[in-house]
Structure 1
Amino acid sequence: MPQETDRKMMEILRILADREEVLGAKTIAEELKKKGYDLGERAVRYHMRILDEKGFTERIGYAGRQITDKGHKELEKGLIYDQVDFIFSKFEDMIYQTTLNPSDGTGKVIVNTSSFVYDKNIMEILKSVFTKGIAVSPYVKFLDPLPEVGNEIRMDTVCGTTIDGMLLRAGIPVIPKYGGIVKVEDYVPIRFTELISYKKTSMTPLEAFTDKNMTSVLEVIDNGNGSIPANFRLIPKTARKNAVKIFNNLQKIGITGLLKMGDEGESVLGIPIDDNMVGIAVIGGIAPLCAAKEAGFDVNIKLAENTIEFGKMQSLVNPKPIIKTTGPGIPEKVKFLLSKAWNLIYQVDFDIETHQGNVITNISYVKTNELDLAIDIFEDVMKTGPQYCTSKYFKIIPGKEPNKTGIATVCSLTLDGILVKNGVSTTPQYGGILETDSKQPRFIELTAYSGSSLDPHEIYIAKDMTSVSEAIKDGGRVLASLREIPYIARPAAVDVLEEVQDAGFSILKIGKPSELVYNAKVERYHVGIVAPGGLNPIAALKEHGMDVEPKAVETMTNVSEMEEF
């Protein structure tokens, strides 16, 4: 179906999912009009029949349609090119709907909705985190009556994006920039160690850091040292005085979480700030739920899911914050992935004729006593599914710890270095998850390299989002990357990449000018090139239950020092 028709049907699914009720064509047409789609009831019915046929919706008598479980799944992973824009627009929508009055506590706030099996221990952990002030607010709302132990419960907590809504309502232009992880030492926030931009990602930034191994909120509570989720925004310098007043008022009604508000042009927790702007860092509203996950509890977290009346929420505790105010800006800045990548790309000198030279490598670590098993799995992936491996080269290296051994694999950014050295301009755009079990492979997750401090593939592995072992047999989910080249350079790139494949590298697809590539959109007058991720064999190890520590875009290695399957 044409792109525009696909987008209209995805919007219909979103409307049904957001409203969670049976809707008729008239209501859907009205909601579509708000989103910029001028469809009449007749046209809506036409699209709904198609959605019914696909099993994404079902008709409920004469009342209308409702979304099915299959429709929810399609909404999560379909039209990825639309989803990477939708995430940021969703935040903008939530910010606009925030109506909280900081003076009296009336109005709506943005909430994260989480679900978990009710247990006294998990409630004690949540209360402990709220008590220590490692949250935006101690106010919550239980969406179900408190059940017996062992039954599931849903709970709303105040999202940090509420702060952006408050700033906007005060007439302050606010720019949400990043979600990330802040390192804390002796109860003092030191700097962001990881960041992902709110723009050009199909995954909410803080969602990327909800894995239990990415935060250490419980350690911050115990000894003042650890990592907590946080988000970051910018405001104009002229609005700083008013912003301070807003935070003071919010604190009086039970909303806080401020880590630092910088002065004009001052670096904030390692993030450089332009002149005439002010940076603000706030604790992530999901921090208490992250603590529960660290303790081993299974918690499903949906960020910025809805807006509710603040007056309907209740405070679990009387917080006594332990996080101290930060001092002057630190000299160490956050290191963004692309800055490091470009410097390594420049050093690639692999010769496509002699098959010699330096390539970019990932270095991942496994337990030394599991190395033999790792190599067996590694070999199976390399030989059974070579199309999903960046190249046939690998290297075993000593680990930094006695009980760890490293495995070096070729990073797909090596291809960008080869293209550049052969006169083809290229720009790495996304790391993603490619679903291979459909008739037409498609990206179901994408995160832009720009604005990220770590390779998206590391996140996907940490969150167990791959199924490489299945992909090499029937169909599954593999790591892949997308880069763009000018459309005029496509013939030259095809020639280079044909020789690259002869040298033992894999290319999944070279698109046509301005064509969707596996459902991912490229800029006009450009061509997309998709390559498998160099960490796919490593992801397979994790799928087999092995303890792995993936590190992407690490260093340069000469292929003459590497082995090959």
Structure 2
Amino acid sequence: MSDSEPRMIEILRILSQQEKPIGSKLIADELNEKGFNLGERAVRYHMQILDEKGYTERKGYSGRVITELGRDKLEKGLIYDQVDFIYSKFEEMIYLTDFNYITQRGNVVVNTSTIYNEESINILKSIIESGLSVSPYVNINEDKSKGKIEVTTLCGTTIDGILLNEGIPAQPQYGGLLRIEDYKPIRFEELISYKKTSLTPLDAFSSPNRTSVMDVVTSGDGLIPANFRLIPGIGREKTIEIIKKLDKIGIGGIIAISDEGKDILGITVPKGMVGISIVGGITPFRAIQEQGQEIDIKIAEEIRDFNTLSPITSTIKYGLKPVEHTPQPKISFLLSKSWNLIQQVNFDIEKRKGDIISNVSYLKKEDLDKTLGIMEETYNSNPKYINPYYKIVNHPSDDNMVGIATICSLSIDGLLINNGIMSNPKYGGLLELTEPPLFIELISYNGSTVDPHKIFIAKNMTSISGNFGPNKILASFKEIPYIAREYAVDLLDTLDKIGFSIYKIGKPREVTYNAKAENYNFGVVAGSGLNSIAAVRERGVDIHVKAIEQLMPFENMDRL
């Protein structure tokens, strides 16, 4: 990747936010504000390259616009940049929020989603009336000619912006799923860090059957989307006063505020800091999705004048009980839970014997023959990308169910470590098989409580069993110190020949399939054992996908 690539991506990003053509001077000014020191001449040089690639188009003397190809490049390209951009995007939204809660004027952060019938409006209203939303203030714009309704709601990031304007720096930490029991918030069950992910955390959990917002409203038990941020402990009392004032004007959704340095809802709060949990701004939209209604959810999409919003209801009955400040089991992130398994991998590459880490997914016994047929067909269609090893195992409690174990890619890290080479699992990703292949999504193993590949499967983002073979597959990205490269390459080449699906061994400072290793390291891209399972799910088989489950002797596994 050339040094100019990030600048060109930023130029595309600037153009994508414009409604009309703009010239090099305006682009240079925008770039300078974002920390890129580029003059007009340099911008014109970069724009010429973008024109040649078809990413931009000149519109006479007015300037340039981004093309559809350019938008596609911006969306999929430079994912290593995108994983930092998500957090930066929220920082930008926080900074641009200038809402004054005394005058009730200024800009707020909003989520805008598209629904397709009036019934969805009724569901939205009922959730807002239950108090499971940031605010009753919405904007509803119906386009009858297209049969769709655009609904804008307030995002919880607005509160972070209001606090910042009052001199209190709120730092977004996690988005996740919060367990509610008898209307009482208990603890977060799943979390994804706002840093090092290309997916907005709450978007990652927006797949069907992940939340149960309506159950919380009707019975008091279920899972709702929620966010978690930190503020300095010295700002706690002032924050509480601001939140009380916001609540009076219809901006709320606060679930819990911790004491200084005290853990809450299963999340560790550092000494000197205070944790705040706020209901996810998309919660009403998730309720619509739970009811089987068609909806296109967008998260923290834009800044909008508060005066464009108005209350959808004047009746708000906040149904959640106060949080009890009693210790909950601390949430363990995926990589923390996995290191013990990684260390126990003792696969002998020469004897081809020893323990590897396996994923175990479960399905009905009656679907087993069909499932194995799909797995074999998927492997035969492109053996380069599909791991061929599997093992049929018993279900722990249901005689009508059966498990299929496949090799987890963390086995590769374990094997390297067992041979004295430090291997750090960095990302789980979605790899698009373009030429060359490119990661189009990445989620850090270190910032998630759930395997990223399970998220991509649950959101139906893979494309493995198509008529023309794999298109979007699951892969992982690992970092290895450069000093060990020669020995590591030798081991990885042997693993690839055995069938462990090593896609790419990168070079130092090289962007490898759109992912970037730290300095003095090189990257390795490996296939996921869940690719064949994802293919089965794509073909309509009801299979419960699990990941990083247990150790299993490699010699006991069968091959497709």
Q: TM-score range by the shorter chain?
A: over 0.9
Amino acid at match of 1:367: K
In structure 2, distance between residues paired with 1:209 and 1:232: 15
Alpha-carbon shift at residue 56 of structure 1 (Å): 2.4
1:130 equivalent in structure 2? 128
The offset of 1:69, in angstroms, is 2.6
The Cα shift of 1:391 comes to: 5.1
Alpha-carbon distance between aligned partners in 2 of 1:396 and 1:351, rounded to the nearest angstrom: 23
**Cα distance, 1:473 vs structure 2:** 4.3
Do the aligned partners of 1:360 and 1:553 also contact (CA within 8 Å) in 2? yes
Q: Is the 8 A contact 2:362 2:395 kept in 1?
A: no
Separation in structure 2 between the aligned mates of residue 69 and residue 225 of structure 1, nearest angstrom: 45
Cα distance between partner residues in 2 of 1:167 and 1:57: 39
Would you say 1:485 and 2:480 are equivalent positions?
A: yes
Which residue of structure 2 lines up, in the alignment, with residue 77 of structure 1? 76
Task: Call closer, same or farther: CA 1:216–1:373 in 2, change over 3 Å.
Answer: same
Superposition RMSD in Å: 1.7
Corresponding residue number in structure 2 for 1:417: 414
Structure 1 window deviating more from structure 2 (394-403 vs 219-228): it is 394-403
* Residue correspondence of structure 1 range 128-527 to structure 2 within 5 A: 128-142=126-140, 144=141, 146-148=142-144, 151-318=147-314, 319-390=316-387, 392-398=389-395, 400-436=397-433, 438-470=434-466, 473-474=468-469, 476-527=471-522
Identity, % of aligned pairs? 50
- Aligned partners of 2:196 and 2:447 also within 8 Å: no
CA distance in 1 between counterparts of 2:397 and 2:468 reads 35
SS at the partner of 2:516?
A: coil
TM-score by length of 1: 0.95
Deviation at 1:323, TM superposition (A): 1.5
Which one-letter code corresponds to 2:148 in the other structure?
E
Q: Deviations over 1:134-163 (max 9, x none)?
A: 111111123x3x243961222221111112
Partner in structure 2 of residue 555 of structure 1 = 550
Counterpart residue type for residue 496 of structure 2: Q
Deviation at 1:352? 0.7
Q: Secondary structure at the match of 2:275?
A: strand
Conserved in 2, the CA contact under 8 Å of 1:435 and 1:478?
A: yes
Correspondence for 2:38? 39
Q: Distance in 2 between matches of 1:106 and 1:404?
A: 58
Q: SS at 1:468's partner residue?
A: coil
Letter in 1 for 2:110: V
1:53, 1:213 → 2: CA distance?
Answer: 45
Instruction: Give the number of aligned pairs.
Output: 559
List per-residue Cα deviations over 1:68-98 (Å, max 9, x = no partner). Answer: 3332222111111111111111111111111
Gaps in structure 2 of 5+ consecutive residues: none
What 5-or-longer segments of structure 1 have no aligned partner? none
Aligned residues of 2:80 and 2:516 also touching (Cα < 8 A): yes
* Per-residue CA distance 1:97-130 (angstroms, 9 max, x = gap): 111122332211111121222x111111111111
Distance apart, 1:312 and its partner CA: 1.8
Give how far 1:424 is off: 0.2
Q: For 2:105 and 2:400, locate their aligned partners in 1 and report how far apart those are by CA, in whole Å.
A: 56
Find the aligned partners of 1:11 and 1:284 in 2 and give their Cα distance.
29
Q: Which moved further from structure 2: 127-136 or 267-276?
A: 267-276
Amino acid at match of 2:310: Q
- State how far apart, in whole Å, the 2-side matches of 1:133 and 1:296 are: 22
**CA displacement, residues 144-184 of structure 1 (integer Å, 9 cap, x when unaligned):** 3x243961222221111112112211111222110100011
The Cα shift of 1:425 comes to 0.7
- Alpha carbons of 1:338 and 1:300: their partners in 2 closer, same or farther (altered >3 Å)? same
Any conservation in 2 of the 1:179–1:205 contact (CA below 8 Å)? yes
How much does 1:223 deviate? Answer: 1.0
Distance 1:342 1:495 in 2: 24
1:21–1:547 CA distance, 2 compared to 1 (3 A): farther
Bigger shift: 324-333 or 255-264? Answer: 324-333
What is the SS of the residue equivalent to 2:152? strand
Whether contact under 8 Å (1:13, 1:75) holds in the other structure is yes
After TM superposition, the structure 1 stretch with the greater mean CA deviation from structure 2, 38-47 or 511-520, is 38-47
